[in-house]
């Protein structure tokens, strides 16, 4: 079977984001399958002899999926967050026109792959496609994310970034749906009420080092609010922002963290949760979106609008080593359920079904 996969996400700004991550690891895993011949493309040639074409992303408001196609097509839609929270993601006229074109193109695709059951539900609702057309195939963490036993390596990272013995960790972006002002408010209340002022908060992501105060962009409003709250509450010495770091360093941060926090109002998958679990880091997560699907019984969940509940959970876990150790063991078992080999195998089955027109 010859599969043509669009690798445009690896040539664009998506390269360092979730879509680029998915495209890269899926390609690598599929190329290890002896039954599949992979052809990468940006613009597919009419001379191609592919059996199936796969677009590993779907942009709601840019015309990325051709309407006329020569080959059976599979497309991955990771989430439809801008449709779920339409009031918070305003779209101009051009975006609305592109959305119509994308829906027309989507109608003739054989199958849609998505990352979670909640995303499948939202795709069916907002894009009006049949249930049987959408297949859920979870992602996986890079095998580099694991428990580290090299104390020298961990001590080096701890000293390099001046990390305390205990810290809460967040990894990712800072857009509105990530709910970071809630995290800052909750952290402030936690250190104020618990007396645990030696505990710090680490925010990892290049976005946290951007100067956004004079940039009027809707997706940066939340980050500006985060910066304002840190300054207003005098939390500068309690919040550590290393910026964008290498994967090996990120693995060490997870291993050193007391807790990993995911406060999002919605995630189509929530890859950092899986990365944390694989590293044995206890996870405290919002109970919205796909996050309970990813964390299963190994994470502790909270209502992302209930500060009192959140701070209470954080305090209990920071103070209770026994519970954290139990969560760590459960997390490692949960993470082992996900792998790129499994993702590729399930994706291959979708290809076969599409070719057979089942």
Give DSSP secondary structure letters for 186-225: HHHHHHHHH--TT-EEEEESGGGG---TT---GGGHHHHH
CB 222 within 8 A of CB 180: yes
CA 231 vs. chain centroid, Å, equals: 28
151-335: which CATH topology? Rossmann fold (3.40.50)
3-state secondary structure of 137: coil
Q: Is the pLDDT of residue 119 over 90?
A: yes
Q: What is the pLDDT of residue 277?
A: 98
List, for residues 147-167, the tens digit of each pLDDT value.
Answer: 999 889 899 999 999 999 999
- At 3, the pLDDT band (50, 70, 90 cuts) reads very high
Give the DSSP per-residue string, 54-68: EES---SSS--S-SS
Q: Is the pLDDT of residue 136 over 90?
A: yes
List, for residues 36-82, the tens digit of each pLDDT value.
Answer: 999 999 988 777 889 999 999 999 999 999 998 889 999 999 999 99
- Please give the Cα distance from 351 to 328 (Å, whole number): 36
Nearest partner of 271 among 21, 9, 49, 8, judged by Cα? 21
Domains 2-140+339-352 and 151-335 share a fold: yes
List, for residues 306-352, the tens digit of each pLDDT value.
Answer: 999 999 999 999 999 999 999 999 999 999 999 999 999 999 999 99
CA 56 vs. chain centroid, Å, equals: 15
Q: What is the pLDDT of residue 48?
A: 82
Strand extents, DSSP E, the chain: 2-6, 37-41, 52-55, 73-76, 111-114, 134-136, 167-171, 200-204, 239-243, 259-262, 283-286, 300-302
Phi, psi of 214 (to 5 degrees): -110, 15
Pair of tokens at residue 330 = 């459960």
The strand pair at 300-302 and 52-55 is best described as unpaired
Q: How many CB atoms lie within 10 A of CB 245?
A: 17
Average pLDDT, the chain: 94
List, for residues 196-212, the tens digit of each pLDDT value.
Answer: 889 999 999 998 988 77
Among 3.40.50.2020, 3.40.50.2000, 1.10.3720.10, 3.10.129.10, what is the CATH number of 2-140+339-352?
A: 3.40.50.2000
What are the residues whose beta carbons fall under 8 Å from the beta carbon of 56, sequence distance 6 or more? 5, 6, 9, 19, 22, 23, 26, 76
Q: Domain locations in the chain?
A: 2-140+339-352, 151-335
For residues 295-314, average pLDDT:
97
Pair of tokens at residue 258 = 């007391």
């Amino acid at each position: 079977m010859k599969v043509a996969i669009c690798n445009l996400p690896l040539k664009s700004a998506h390269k360092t984001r979730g879509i680029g991550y998915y495209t890269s690891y899926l390609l690598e895993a599929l190329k290890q399958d002896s039954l599949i011949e992979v052809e990468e493309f940006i613009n597919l040639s009419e001379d191609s002899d592919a059996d199936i074409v796969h677009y590993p992303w779907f942009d709601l408001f840019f015309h990325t999926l051709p309407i006329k196609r020569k080959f059976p097509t599979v497309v991955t839609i990771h989430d439809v967050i801008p449709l779920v929270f339409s009031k918070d993601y305003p779209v101009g006229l051009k975006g609305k026109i592109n959305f119509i074109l994308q829906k027309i193109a989507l109608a003739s695709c054989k199958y849609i792959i998505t990352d979670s059951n909640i995303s499948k539900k939202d795709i069916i609702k907002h894009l009006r496609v049949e249930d049987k057309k959408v297949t859920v195939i979870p992602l996986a963490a890079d095998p580099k994310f694991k428990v580290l036993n090299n104390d020298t390596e961990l001590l080096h990272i701890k000293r390099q970034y001046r990390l305390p013995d205990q810290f809460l960790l967040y990894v990712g972006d800072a857009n509105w749906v990530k709910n970071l002002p809630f995290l800052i408010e909750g952290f402030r209340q936690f250190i104020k009420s618990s007396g645990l002022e030696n505990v710090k908060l680490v925010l990892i992501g290049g976005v946290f080092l951007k100067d956004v105060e004079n940039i009027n962009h809707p997706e940066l409003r939340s980050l500006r609010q985060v910066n304002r709250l840190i300054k207003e509450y005098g939390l500068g010495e309690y919040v550590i922002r290393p910026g964008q770091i290498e994967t090996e360093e990120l693995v060490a941060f997870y291993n050193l963290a007391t807790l990993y926090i995911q406060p999002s109002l919605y995630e189509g998958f929530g890859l950092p949760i899986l990365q944390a679990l694989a590293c044995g880091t206890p996870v405290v997560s919002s109970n919205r979106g796909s996050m309970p699907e990813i964390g299963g019984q190994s994470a502790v969940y909270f209502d992302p609008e209930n500060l009192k509940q959140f701070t209470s959970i954080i305090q209990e876990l920071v103070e209770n080593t026994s519970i954290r150790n139990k969560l760590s063991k459960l997390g490692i078992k949960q993470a082992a359920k996900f792998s790129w080999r499994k993702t590729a195998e399930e994706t291959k089955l979708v290809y076969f079904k599409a070719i057979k027109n089942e």
